Amino acid sequence: MKRFKYILTLVLCASMALSLSAQSDSFKAGKNLNVQFSILKELQRSYVDTVQMDELVLDGINAMLSKLDPYTIYVPEEYEEDMELLMNGTYGGIGAVVQKKVDGPVVITEPYKDSPASKFGLVPGDQIIEIDNKSVIGETSAESTSRMKGVPGSNVLFKVVKMRSGDTVLVDVVRERIRVSSLDYAGIIRDSIGYITLSGFITGTAKEVRNAFLDLKKDGAKKIVLDLRDNGGGSLAEAVEIVSLFVPKGTLVISSKGKIEGSNKEYYTTSHPVDTLVPIMVMINSGSASASEIVAGAIQDLDRGFVAGKRSFGKGLVQSVVPMPFDGTLKYTTAKYYTPSGRCVQAIDYSHRNEDGSVGNIPDSLTSEFTTKKGRIVKDGGGITPDIEIDNIVYGRVSFSVVFNNIVSDYAMDYYKKHPTIAPAEEFVLTDEGYDDFVKFAASREFDARSVSQVEMDDLLKKAKEEGMYEIFKAEFDALSDKLNLSKEEALKMAKDELLPIIEAEILSKYYFREASIFPELRYDKQLEEALDSWKSNFPL
């Protein structure tokens, strides 16, 4: 009896402690919210300068959410259209990529195919100087593009300086519901191999993949490459639907586990497949995340195909989207997801990653082994590790610099102005003379042409001078520095192999829309070529 009373006392104490802990947490939260409100009220009343209270509160919300994970965000009402574009790939507008400086016009850089911009005659290089009789000079890019967007079916009046003629004309454009497709290209490449590349997973992506796959089979495709490199993900439901195209109905694709019961789900294929036998290769890299990892992980775990490339990003978190007061939206993490074998794709620590945000090195001691449907060993710890690892294309510092400074885009625009027509998209190549012209164009612009070696040499010289070593070894330092110190022209010529496909893709997008940029990308894609070479010998399916 004494022991029973002792145990009962322990249970009661534990229950009271839990209750007090819960009350304590609620009390602390209420206290801090009260303090926060009092601070805001006092600042609004007495602070020496004008306080933008809405911005201050929004900054506070963002700071609070940043303590959780990188994917939990609050979207105010004024950015709801951006959320719609993110989730569904749609918005109301004219359908064009534009550039804008505060002191300049809105420049059309790339109309979308079959968009209102294209239908009403807007071409790359056209300059919009007024929107609905109001000048754009002095506006930010966001302010001007906001006025260009609107309800589908409504009109927007542009005053435009035409690129080729220089004439100033009025163009009355009828806005439409613009849908940005996530299927970038589908076609036959070599050896009867069908190739499908996706840039995201939005509403309708699975249907696009299904139709593309059936068309490729009609065209004679015997194998399929699903390219998910640099695909940041999107809709989980669309990812499950894509897997369902290639595995039997009722197959487990992914499961999620969270704090509340509603977050614990298993996602099975619910429709009949279109083909369960065609060999599949999924390509991934460090930019492949979320829904991309669901597809790649399922195909790998189910031994439905194999994965090639580099380890994926490592985002195995499920986000839910819920409405907030005053038409805001909260997108927050509610669960982690697991592949059919039981692997969690989420990186063990998403606060310590590579420079590109992807998974860093994970020690084997921190990983667990799982088995695929046929008994192959796969590991967790962050991301999907390919069956065949193939190094990424590595771009040098100079290539990043000229792209970041819009020099490639500006050269493509200049090329478009000077050449009314070019060869068909599949045949177009930039000649050696054309690349020399690019070198002259780029060298006249401001950009950092230093290589990584030059940057490190500059740092070494600085430290050597600080430590008094420079004067001692001045001749050696200067000789090495001179050899590494390339001119802009020399640096650009050394980067030709990296820049050529980028330049060709930009030029083609001016003449034949963004879809045409795939041809130089495929032509120079050494990683894809190596993956295709490895397919038959390493993974005969």
- Kindly list the catalytic residues: 290, 301, 315
Cβ(86)–Cβ(329) under 8 Å?
Answer: no
Cβ(132)–Cβ(156) under 8 Å?
Answer: yes
Residue the block writes with tokens 């299904």: 210
φ and ψ of 114, to 5 deg: 65, 20
The angle that helices 407-418 and 397-404 make with each other, rounded to 10 degrees, is: 60
> What CA–CA distance (Å, rounded) separates 189 from 226?
12
User: Length of the chain, please?
Assistant: 541
Q: Where are the beta strands (DSSP E) in 356-417?
A: 369-371, 377-379, 388-389
Residue 292: exposure state from Cβ atoms within 10 A (0-12, 13-18, ≥19): buried
Beta pairing class for 328-338 and 176-179: unpaired
Tokens of 141: 């890019």
> What CA–CA distance (Å, rounded) separates 300 from 312?
13
> What CA–CA distance (Å, rounded) separates 152 from 176?
4
Q: Which helix (H) or strand (E) covers residue 16, if one does?
A: helix 2-46
> What CA–CA distance (Å, rounded) separates 266 from 474?
67
Beta pairing class for 377-379 and 369-371: antiparallel
Residue the block writes with tokens 């009896």: 1
Cβ(131)–Cβ(145) under 8 Å?
Answer: no
Cβ(281)–Cβ(309) under 8 Å?
Answer: no
Residue 92: CB atoms within 10 A of its CB come to 18
Cβ(243)–Cβ(276) under 8 Å?
Answer: no
Tokens of 256: 């999620």
> What CA–CA distance (Å, rounded) separates 57 from 37?
10
Residues 6+ apart with CB under 8 A from 454: 484, 485, 486
> What CA–CA distance (Å, rounded) separates 280 from 194?
10
